[in-house]
Amino acid sequence: MKNAYLGLGSNMGDKKRYLYDAVQMLNHHEGIRIINSSSLYETMPWGYVDQDIFMNLVIQIETSLSPEELLDVCQSIENRLGRVREVKWGPRVIDVDILLYEDQNLITDRLIIPHPHMINRDFVMIPLSEISPQLVIKGKTAIEWAQTFNLDALKKLSNK
Protein backbone atom coordinates (compact mmCIF):
# COMPACT_ATOMS: atom_id res chain seq x y z
CA MET A 1 0.00 0.00 0.00
CA LYS A 2 1.19 3.50 -0.86
CA ASN A 3 0.59 6.65 1.16
CA ALA A 4 -1.10 9.62 -0.56
CA TYR A 5 -2.88 12.87 0.31
CA LEU A 6 -5.95 14.22 -1.44
CA GLY A 7 -7.45 17.70 -1.30
CA LEU A 8 -11.23 17.99 -1.65
CA GLY A 9 -13.29 21.10 -2.24
CA SER A 10 -16.82 22.19 -3.14
CA ASN A 11 -18.51 25.54 -3.65
CA MET A 12 -21.86 24.72 -5.25
CA GLY A 13 -25.07 23.33 -3.83
CA ASP A 14 -24.92 21.25 -0.66
CA LYS A 15 -21.15 21.52 -0.23
CA LYS A 16 -20.92 19.36 2.89
CA ARG A 17 -22.95 16.62 1.22
CA TYR A 18 -20.73 16.61 -1.88
CA LEU A 19 -17.61 16.39 0.28
CA TYR A 20 -19.12 13.66 2.47
CA ASP A 21 -20.26 11.69 -0.58
CA ALA A 22 -16.82 11.95 -2.23
CA VAL A 23 -15.07 10.79 0.95
CA GLN A 24 -17.48 7.86 1.26
CA MET A 25 -16.96 6.87 -2.39
CA LEU A 26 -13.20 6.97 -1.91
CA ASN A 27 -13.44 4.95 1.29
CA HIS A 28 -15.60 2.30 -0.38
CA HIS A 29 -13.17 1.78 -3.25
CA GLU A 30 -11.37 -1.54 -2.86
CA GLY A 31 -7.96 0.02 -3.56
CA ILE A 32 -8.27 2.92 -1.11
CA ARG A 33 -8.34 3.18 2.68
CA ILE A 34 -8.73 6.52 4.43
CA ILE A 35 -6.17 6.90 7.23
CA ASN A 36 -6.87 10.44 8.43
CA SER A 37 -9.03 13.46 7.64
CA SER A 38 -8.62 17.12 8.47
CA SER A 39 -11.30 19.34 9.85
CA LEU A 40 -13.67 20.97 7.39
CA TYR A 41 -12.75 24.55 6.46
CA GLU A 42 -14.62 27.39 4.80
CA THR A 43 -12.28 29.18 2.41
CA MET A 44 -12.18 31.97 -0.11
CA PRO A 45 -11.85 31.08 -3.82
CA TRP A 46 -8.36 30.88 -5.32
CA GLY A 47 -7.47 31.70 -8.92
CA TYR A 48 -10.89 32.67 -10.24
CA VAL A 49 -12.26 34.66 -7.29
CA ASP A 50 -15.70 35.76 -8.57
CA GLN A 51 -17.53 32.76 -7.12
CA ASP A 52 -19.03 31.41 -3.90
CA ILE A 53 -16.88 30.41 -0.93
CA PHE A 54 -15.55 26.86 -0.72
CA MET A 55 -15.57 24.10 1.83
CA ASN A 56 -12.30 22.17 1.84
CA LEU A 57 -10.59 19.31 3.62
CA VAL A 58 -7.55 17.10 3.16
CA ILE A 59 -7.46 13.34 3.62
CA GLN A 60 -4.60 10.90 3.97
CA ILE A 61 -5.10 7.56 2.26
CA GLU A 62 -3.36 4.25 1.71
CA THR A 63 -3.83 2.89 -1.78
CA SER A 64 -2.86 -0.04 -3.93
CA LEU A 65 -3.55 2.08 -7.02
CA SER A 66 -0.89 3.73 -9.16
CA PRO A 67 -1.00 7.54 -9.33
CA GLU A 68 -2.75 7.38 -12.72
CA GLU A 69 -5.30 4.84 -11.48
CA LEU A 70 -5.95 7.02 -8.42
CA LEU A 71 -6.48 10.01 -10.72
CA ASP A 72 -9.00 7.96 -12.72
CA VAL A 73 -10.90 7.13 -9.51
CA CYS A 74 -10.87 10.79 -8.38
CA GLN A 75 -12.15 12.00 -11.75
CA SER A 76 -14.78 9.26 -11.87
CA ILE A 77 -16.08 10.38 -8.46
CA GLU A 78 -16.14 14.00 -9.64
CA ASN A 79 -18.11 12.96 -12.74
CA ARG A 80 -20.56 10.79 -10.77
CA LEU A 81 -21.27 13.70 -8.43
CA GLY A 82 -21.96 16.01 -11.38
CA ARG A 83 -18.73 17.97 -11.83
CA VAL A 84 -18.75 20.08 -15.00
CA ARG A 85 -15.50 21.74 -16.12
CA GLU A 86 -16.38 25.11 -17.65
CA VAL A 87 -14.01 27.70 -16.12
CA LYS A 88 -10.47 26.96 -14.91
CA TRP A 89 -10.52 27.20 -11.09
CA GLY A 90 -14.21 28.03 -11.42
CA PRO A 91 -17.25 26.85 -9.47
CA ARG A 92 -17.58 23.12 -8.94
CA VAL A 93 -19.76 20.71 -7.02
CA ILE A 94 -16.67 18.68 -6.14
CA ASP A 95 -12.95 18.72 -6.75
CA VAL A 96 -10.71 15.82 -5.72
CA ASP A 97 -7.00 16.55 -6.25
CA ILE A 98 -4.02 14.30 -5.66
CA LEU A 99 -1.64 16.42 -3.59
CA LEU A 100 1.10 13.91 -2.81
CA TYR A 101 1.75 10.26 -3.61
CA GLU A 102 4.54 8.76 -1.50
CA ASP A 103 7.63 10.87 -2.22
CA GLN A 104 7.12 10.70 -5.97
CA ASN A 105 7.78 13.53 -8.37
CA LEU A 106 5.71 12.90 -11.48
CA ILE A 107 4.95 15.01 -14.52
CA THR A 108 2.69 13.64 -17.25
CA ASP A 109 0.12 15.19 -19.58
CA ARG A 110 -2.59 14.31 -17.05
CA LEU A 111 -0.95 14.58 -13.66
CA ILE A 112 1.70 16.50 -11.74
CA ILE A 113 2.79 15.26 -8.30
CA PRO A 114 3.36 16.99 -5.95
CA HIS A 115 0.38 19.16 -6.87
CA PRO A 116 2.00 22.24 -8.46
CA HIS A 117 0.00 24.85 -6.51
CA MET A 118 -0.39 23.18 -3.14
CA ILE A 119 2.23 25.18 -1.23
CA ASN A 120 0.56 28.43 -2.37
CA ARG A 121 -2.89 27.47 -1.10
CA ASP A 122 -3.90 28.03 2.50
CA PHE A 123 -6.90 25.72 2.03
CA VAL A 124 -4.47 22.88 1.30
CA MET A 125 -1.53 23.56 3.58
CA ILE A 126 -3.45 24.41 6.76
CA PRO A 127 -5.63 21.25 6.69
CA LEU A 128 -2.62 19.17 5.59
CA SER A 129 -0.57 20.52 8.51
CA GLU A 130 -3.41 19.55 10.84
CA ILE A 131 -3.13 15.86 9.95
CA SER A 132 0.60 15.60 9.08
CA PRO A 133 2.46 18.58 10.55
CA GLN A 134 5.94 17.07 10.09
CA LEU A 135 5.40 15.96 6.48
CA VAL A 136 8.19 17.49 4.37
CA ILE A 137 7.24 19.19 1.11
CA LYS A 138 9.87 21.00 -0.96
CA GLY A 139 12.25 21.31 1.98
CA LYS A 140 9.78 22.55 4.61
CA THR A 141 7.35 20.78 6.90
CA ALA A 142 3.62 21.15 6.34
CA ILE A 143 3.36 23.17 9.55
CA GLU A 144 6.11 25.55 8.35
CA TRP A 145 4.23 26.07 5.07
CA ALA A 146 0.95 26.58 6.96
CA GLN A 147 2.53 29.24 9.15
CA THR A 148 3.27 31.36 6.07
CA PHE A 149 -0.47 32.01 5.70
CA ASN A 150 -2.93 34.11 7.67
CA LEU A 151 -4.38 31.34 9.82
CA ASP A 152 -7.46 33.47 10.49
CA ALA A 153 -8.35 33.56 6.78
CA LEU A 154 -9.82 30.05 6.99
CA LYS A 155 -12.86 29.35 9.08
CA LYS A 156 -12.80 25.92 10.71
CA LEU A 157 -16.32 24.51 10.49
CA SER A 158 -15.75 21.20 12.26
CA ASN A 159 -13.07 19.31 14.05
CA LYS A 160 -11.89 15.95 12.82
Among candidate residues 95, 110, 121, 122, the one labeled active-site is 95
Q: What is the CA radius of gyration of the chain?
A: 14
Annotated catalytic residue 33: no
Of these residues, 33, 72, 80, 83, which one is catalytic? 83
Catalytic residue check, 97: yes
In the set 50, 72, 97, 152, the catalytic residue is 97
Q: Where are the alpha helices (DSSP H) in 5-153?
A: 15-27, 67-80, 122-131, 142-146
Number of alpha helices (DSSP H) and beta strands (DSSP E) in the chain = 4, 10
> Pairing between strand 40-43 and 54-63?
antiparallel
Catalytic option among 14, 80, 92, 121: 92
Return the closest-CA partner of residue 42 out of 16, 68, 60: 16
Q: Would residue 95 show up in a list of annotated catalytic residues for this protein?
A: yes
Catalytic status, residue 17:
no
Q: Just list the catalytic residues.
A: 83, 92, 95, 97
